[in-house]
Amino acid sequence: MYLTMFFSSVGFSIVIMSIWPYLQKIDKTADESFLGWIIASYSIGQMIASPFFGAWSNYRPRREPLVISIAISVAANCLYSYVHLPASHNKYYMLAARGLVGFGAGNVAVVRSYIAGATSLTERTSAMANTSACQAVGFILGPVFQTLFTLIGEKGITWKAIHLQVNMYTAPVLFGALLGIVNIVLIFAVFREHRVDDLGRPQSSINCESEENDELGQDNQGTIDHVAVVSTNILFFVILFVFAVFETIATPLTMDMYSWTRKKAVFVNGIILGAIGIESVIVFLAVKFLSRRTGERAILYGGLVIILVGFFILLPWGKQLPNIQWEDVKNNSIPRTTFSESLALFWTLQTQFPSNNTVETTGCPFIQSWCLYTPVIHLGQYITTDILIGLGYPACSVMSYTLYSKILGPKPQGIYMGWLTACGSAARILGPVFVSQLYTHLGPRWAFSLICGIVVLSLLLLEAVYKRLVAFSVRRERLQE
């Protein structure tokens, strides 16, 4: 089940760095705003499918929803590899493919419900923390696989018999389909139904809770601190929202600011996220020991502060402007300007626009008016932010899951964990749409300033509920005293 969670996360992030350049290549009508919808479609599909697959697993063997959901993801990845074939509306085919991959990832609900039912209360917190770690590592390490496939190049090879192009854009999803097939084989060969009660004793029925456990859950439900539960859900939403923004904007930002080609942007950002992945694994190991001395709350607070500093450093400053991509002017996509400004722009166009139109144009698109006055974000700023996000995000992710499990206490956590998963999916839906819309129309200064404001508000919330984010047993003792 840990492996299934990891594969699901990899399926989301393995194409993050290449979606934008591939979208530009197959459909010239697509812009950064549509990119946000494509990335968000994964989480929309996951939100829709999670209750469906979760209910299915309550009445049938869990192997059934697991195999069907993974098969849907495999088929959707194959569809993604063929989105270049239609003569028009290619961007909508890509949107459908990513949505179906997300629908297949709805098996996260099945995984979490199985782990909750297969562990005792003493084991459950650790198991849920391990699950979140597998999911986070999958999100971070997915781009590493993408980086390796950039060596194939944009042209790649073509299997004419089935019209399949294997290049740096399609190879990752084909690899994801292969992982899905491996996952299905392992589920048939290795996975066995297993259920225990709260004390770890095996249960004869895998679909029904015992009356004793139901009474325990009802008795404990009234003593759960729901303010702490809701606050943790909000904090988890912010954490996933910030990381979704970071992954979404990396490729367009570097292409605009540093005049990188599509291939270079995918390759370099893949290497950077690969390094962040290694950094995050170290953080996962470190926080287990550090939390024993400082506690989970302090690490969560420190991680949010690190994320805030990272996005604050990313704010543009200085006088140097990014290089302008003049292709939009060539295509008559000219924003409103004064007559003198228009003359100056067209004079620059005549002297700077390359005569060889077969060469990929680079730079900040002229149609994004903020490119004309927003200072460039220096590469050192970008790298520093990458390092800080690699420190803050994994620490916050693991600690929020751990705190959540401890706050809930001995009550069966399936429903509550479903709410937390839904918050994460909502964050991955809204984050890409938010940043793509804001970045396209107002630029990085507004986008990153608002992100800083959101993180500040989350820190204030954490300050307000800090004393309430304690384990269920600790709170019960306080109430008795």
* Secondary structure (H, E, C), the chain: CHHHHHHHHHHHHCCHHHHHHHHHHHCCCCCHHHHHHHHHHHHHHHHHHHHHHHHHHHHCCCHHHHHHHHHHHHHHHHHHCCCCCCCCCHHHHHHHHHHHHHHHHHHHHHHHHHHHHCCCHHHHHHHHHHHHHHHHHHHHHHHHHHHHHHHHCCCCEEEHHHCEEECCCCHHHHHHHHHHHHHHHHHHHCCCCCCECCCCCECCCCCCCCHHHHHHHHHHHCCCCHHHHHHHHHHHHHHHHHHHHHHHHHHHHHHHHHCCCHHHHHHHHHHHHHHHHHHHHHHHHHHHHHHHHHCHHHHHHHHHHHHHHHHHHCCCCCCCCCCEECHHHHCCCCCCCCHHHHHHHHHHHHHHCCCCCCCCCCCEECCCHHHHCCCCCCHHHHHHHHHHHHHHHHHHHHHHHHHHHHHHCCCCCHHHHHHHHHHHHHHHHHHHHHHHHHHHHHCHHHHHHHHHHHHHHHHHHHHHHHHHCCCHHHHHHHHHC
pLDDT at position 216 is 43
In this prediction, residues 303-325 reach a mean pLDDT of 87
> Are 152 and 41 within one domain?
yes
> Are 304 and 381 within one domain?
yes
> Are 43 and 78 within one domain?
yes
Report residue 239's pLDDT band, with 50, 70 and 90 as the boundaries: very high
Asked whether residue 211 is assigned to any structural domain, the reply reads no
pLDDT at position 280 is 80
Asked whether residue 148 is assigned to any structural domain, the reply reads yes
Report residue 413's pLDDT band, with 50, 70 and 90 as the boundaries: low
Please say if the pLDDT value at position 314 is more than 70: yes
- Record the pTM: 0.70
In the numeric block, which tokens belong to residue 476? 């019960």
| Residue of 152, 177, 178, 148 lying closest to 167 (CA atoms) | 152
> Are 280 and 396 within one domain?
yes
| 355 Cβ neighbours under 8 A, 6+ residues apart | none
Report residue 203's pLDDT band, with 50, 70 and 90 as the boundaries: low
In this prediction, residues 75-98 reach a mean pLDDT of 87
Asked whether residue 369 is assigned to any structural domain, the reply reads no
Question: What total of structural domains would you count in the chain?
Answer: 2
Asked whether residue 174 is assigned to any structural domain, the reply reads yes
> Are 275 and 340 within one domain?
no
pLDDT at position 215 is 42
> Are 233 and 309 within one domain?
yes
> Are 257 and 173 within one domain?
yes
In this prediction, residues 203-218 reach a mean pLDDT of 44
* pLDDT single digits (tens) 333-388: 444 433 333 334 333 333 344 444 456 677 788 777 888 888 888 888 999 999 99
Asked whether residue 206 is assigned to any structural domain, the reply reads no
Please say if the pLDDT value at position 52 is more than 60: yes
Q: Which residue has the higher pLDDT, 388 or 223?
A: 388
Q: Which residue has the higher pLDDT, 135 or 222?
A: 135
Asked whether residue 43 is assigned to any structural domain, the reply reads yes
Domain residues for the domain of 335 are 324-361
Give bridge partners of residue 157 from the DSSP assignment.
166
pLDDT at position 355 is 40
> Are 468 and 345 within one domain?
no
pLDDT at position 72 is 94
In this prediction, residues 78-107 reach a mean pLDDT of 87
> Are 224 and 344 within one domain?
no
> Are 235 and 355 within one domain?
no
Please say if the pLDDT value at position 282 is more than 70: yes
| Residue of 111, 142, 117 lying closest to 217 (CA atoms) | 117
* pLDDT single digits (tens) 169-188: 888 889 889 989 999 999 99
> Are 345 and 412 within one domain?
no
Please say if the pLDDT value at position 303 is more than 90: yes
Please say if the pLDDT value at position 132 is more than 50: yes
Report residue 218's pLDDT band, with 50, 70 and 90 as the boundaries: very low
Asked whether residue 126 is assigned to any structural domain, the reply reads yes
| Residue of 410, 422, 418 lying closest to 112 (CA atoms) | 418
CATH code of residue 456: 1.20.1250.20
In the numeric block, which tokens belong to residue 336? 């409103």
Q: Which residue has the higher pLDDT, 46 or 80?
A: 80
* pLDDT single digits (tens) 464-473: 999 888 877 7
> Are 357 and 456 within one domain?
no
pLDDT at position 262 is 77
From 304, 337, 361, give the residue that closes a domain.
361
Asked whether residue 212 is assigned to any structural domain, the reply reads no
Average pLDDT, the chain: 78
* Rounded alpha-carbon distances, angstroms, from residue 133 to 126, 137, 148: 10, 6, 23
Amino acid present at 11: G
